[in-house]
């Protein structure tokens, strides 16, 4: 999760003022707060998350210790492709996360039939990624979902109305599943060029090439 740091600074003459940081990942915020605390000038230090919940230094340390062994800082790239001639859809997702201080990536695709449009395949790809998150035991945290479909991103964000019944059904199922998992989604639209990895996985699926892999990402 991302948080802001708020601290009351006290000068040597007893003058106090309040400072607030920009929003940043909780791990980074805690390290910055530790440095602030070492100055001896911070009267109090608290963290505030996106839901306006406040955390003390002790509470934040406990939270970070708890999530260390679980997937966190999760980012999902998803994409769906649809071949109109064969009515075959390809779904792809790439999931990046950290666990036990190490970065990992999961790549997954799937071929499916019975869908009627590219927009449906995009929704199906998003659902595929959520199924993978459940297998990873990702729950009760913020997750970034990144895709190149303006329709899916804007509809899931609530910026566009979902008028087609079949797409509304997908959106409702996805919302309900995320709620069950306690996942708070943040949907982000990017160009297809940036979403190349998920796009390639979806294309491979259309051609019958199945991919499922989890790898630790080594530092370059």
Q: Which domains does the chain have, with CATH numbers?
A: 2-67 (no CATH), 72-216 (3.30.420.10)
Q: How far is it, in rounded angstroms, from Cα 108 to Cα 125?
A: 10
What is the pLDDT, as a whole number, of residue 152? 98
The 10s digit of each residue's pLDDT in 84-131 is: 999 999 999 999 999 988 999 999 999 999 999 999 999 999 999 999
Res 220: pLDDT:
56
**Each residue's pLDDT tens digit, 168-205:** 999 999 999 999 999 999 999 999 999 999 999 999 99
Percent of the chain with pLDDT over 70: 99
How sure is the predictor about 68, in pLDDT bands with cuts at 50, 70 and 90? Answer: confident
Q: Tell me: the pLDDT tens digits for 55-66?
A: 999 999 988 888
Query: 123 φ, ψ to 5°?
Result: -65, -40
Per-position DSSP letters for 52-117, written without gaps between them: --EEEHHHHHHHHHHHTTS-EEEEEEEEEEEETTTTEEEEEEEEEEEETTEEEEEEEEEEEE---S
- Note the pLDDT of residue 8: 95
- The predicted model gives 147-158 an average pLDDT of 97
């Amino acid at each position: 999760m991302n948080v802001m740091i708020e601290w009351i600074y006290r000068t040597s003459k007893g003058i106090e003022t309040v400072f607030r940081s920009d929003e940043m990942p909780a791990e980074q915020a805690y390290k910055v707060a530790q440095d602030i605390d070492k100055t001896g000038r911070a009267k109090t230090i608290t963290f505030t998350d996106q839901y306006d919940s406040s955390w003390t230094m002790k509470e934040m340390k406990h939270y970070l210790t708890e999530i260390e062994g679980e997937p966190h800082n999760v980012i999902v790239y998803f994409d769906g492709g649809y071949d109109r001639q064969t009515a075959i859809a390809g779904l792809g997702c790439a999931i990046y996360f950290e666990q036990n201080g190490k970065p990992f990536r999961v790549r997954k695709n799937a071929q499916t039939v019975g869908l009627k449009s590219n927009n449906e395949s995009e929704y199906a790809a998003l659902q595929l990624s959520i199924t993978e998150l459940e297998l990873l035991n990702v729950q009760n945290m913020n997750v970034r979902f990144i895709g190149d479909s303006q329709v899916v991103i804007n509809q899931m964000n609530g910026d566009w109305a979902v008028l087609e019944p079949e797409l509304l059904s997908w959106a409702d199922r996805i919302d309900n599943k995320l709620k069950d998992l306690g996942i708070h989604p943040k949907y982000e639209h990017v160009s297809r060029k940036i979403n190349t990895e998920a796009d390639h996985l979806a294309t491979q699926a259309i051609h019958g090439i199945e991919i499922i892999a989890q790898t630790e990402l080594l530092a370059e």
